[in-house]
Amino acid sequence: MRRVLLPSLSAALVLLALLAIAQERTNTDWPTYGNDAGGTRYSPLALVNRSNVTKLQQAWVYHTGALEPATPLNRKAAFEATPIVVEGIMYVSTPFDQVIALNPENGEEIWKYDPQVDRSKDYSEVTSRGVATWLDDQASPSVLKGGCLRRIYVATIDARLIALSASDGALCSDFGVHGVVDLTVGIQLKTLGQYQVTSPPVVVQNLVIVGSSIGDGRRYDSERGTVRAFNARSGKLEWSWDPIPAEQATGAANAWSILSVDPARNLVFVPTGSASPDFYGARRLGNDADANSVVALDAGSGKVVWKFQVVHHDLWDYDVASQPSLITVRNNGRDQPAVAVTTKMGNLFLLDRVNGRPIFPVEERSVPKSDVPGEVSSPTQPYPTTAPLNPQSMRSRDAWGLTPEEKAACKEQIDNLRAEGMFTPPSVTGSLLFPGNVGGVNWGSAAFDPRNRVLVAATNRLATVVRLIPRDKFLQERSAKGNLDNRLGGEFATQAGTAYGMYREMLTSPKGLPCNAPPWGALVAIDLDTGKKKWESPLGKIKLPDGTEIQGDINLGGPMITGGGLVFVGAARSENVLRAFDVDTGKLLWQGDLPAAAQATPMTYRLKGKQYIVIAAGGHGKLGSKQGDSVVAFALPETTDQKKN
């Protein structure tokens, strides 16, 4: 009998192996926030393409329940997450850091973990952009028994790093203290709720690496933006890197956005923000060398390999908000590993990935000088020779309005402001910043098409008015106007420990519309072979009460590119839709309705021969878009053959 069964068993094993290979070819995951570790937001999947995208329809919807119970904190909630799909399971995080595992075929919940963030406390930001995963290929028998062979990591708005079993959502007990690392340990915490993590960790080999989100307008000596690497299995701190020199008392320069990884070179690419406070630098004189930079760290040690600064001595909140895009470009007829850095100013810096040197030239140009006592602004700023992604200056002659009266009112406001281009320093009388601290490319980052070497990004063009308020007048002014927390409606910053507080708001007409000409938001493509703009399309539209329609709205979120020649993007504030554009021309090809606004970046995967496009549709409290709790999947309708299977 054995001689009969063994060949049959061998045949069965071969068949199973062949089926596994076929399944692998049929299913394509989205394993990290930006799909690959370098954050290109590109998938080769082409089952959905230019010829059939108009047939896309809703496949399933899942409601996270994250906004229940209703609390005042919900007004800040932003559903900015991009799900990941690994080994046939989807994992997504909510604004309150709940982690949910879903069946990606139908959206059914498999498990849900709630870290019980205290919603009675106030937090600067209420969002989680996603999770990370790690496969412990050297797990001990006890780990295997506990189900933590594959782990899901989430970093929370109350500063915890949590490791969960991918199979059932249970805490991995061997990580930190019962599955949790307290990220406030080793940090000189100044204000509860102002030291957070809002972006997913990254995993390199057996290390899980996190930055932080810091409210950096509160004081000059805020928490330092230390980047830390923990052992992925035990949670032990392996190394830390501080962007602020030890001898300086200033803080921040934190990496609140998404880090990138080059596993082959064992490099981690860290985008840093401004040193604190971000609109007045008299107590942090000099260039703040590691702030407002992309810094390449050795993943094993945390030592700096190279760095490139996009803004010297930031006075404008021009953080590097985008994830560095690790791409390959053509340079002098050869393929060259590169890093594409998109900025809030709308600049695009293309750097050699090995040494950080610019591939396209960068020029230091003279910029206006600060007139604020004690402030020493940088005399020059770096300008790339690549095409800007958006307009970068606004003067009185550029004032816009729906009516002559609206235009005149905008012009009068600008005439009373200091307006000398993108790097106009903040002033006591008021300065015009354009494209503003929300402008250019924000955390939505860029997507890269490797087939034609085109970079696509969603951009904002919003004029911001910034005014420094002498310390003896600050409390009175803030009390008179109210301590606002809506960044588009107006915001005060204390800047404690300095001679000035700060107030900023969007420059608007009497009817509340931006004073600069639309589009206020646009999707832009840059040809990286030439550094020139390939196309631009307004992103979103606004319909006013009188029926007037304005093309191009404020947006937060990013694009995704697929092998089907499509760019998928939500992002627009005023519309609850997901759109698909032609990657070659920028032509709008399709849009699908959503239950709420999509201030997130879409993703895609293939399962059992079907391609799904998924986006988190939950809006953004601070942006003022429609809030919700939906994860929405789109797919092509099933064919007769698929239904039979």
Amino acid type, 499: A
For residue 397, the SS3 value is: helix
CA distance 295 to 290: 7
Q: Could you count the other beta carbons within 10 Å of the beta carbon of residue 8? A: 9
CA distance 299 to 161: 18
User: According to the 3-state scheme, what is the secondary structure of 429-473?
Assistant: CCEEECCCCCCECCCCCEEEECCCCEEEEEEECCCEEEEEEEHHH
445 phi/psi in degrees, rounded to 5: 60, -165
CA distance 234 to 208: 10
Residue of 525, 515, 509 whose CA lies nearest to 459:
525
Residue of 494, 581, 505, 481 whose CA lies nearest to 540:
581
- Whether the CA torsion 405, 407, 409, 415 is positive or negative: it is negative
Q: In degrees to the nearest 10, what's the CA dihedral of 443, 630, 489, 117?
A: -80
Q: Quick check: 215 and 242 in contact, CB under 8 A?
A: no
Amino acid type, 431: S
User: Catalytic: 317?
Assistant: yes
Residue of 538, 561, 568 whose CA lies nearest to 632:
568
The residues that bridge with 513 in the sheet, in sequence order, are none
**Which residues, 6+ apart, have CB-to-CB distance to 344 below 8 Å?**
317, 318, 319, 321, 435, 437, 438, 439, 440, 441, 442
Active-site option among 216, 221, 278, 317 = 317
The distance from CA 161 to its chain's CA centroid, rounded to whole angstroms, is: 19
- Whether the CA torsion 566, 569, 572, 577 is positive or negative: it is positive
How big is the chain, counted in residues? 645
By annotation, the residues acting in catalysis are: 317
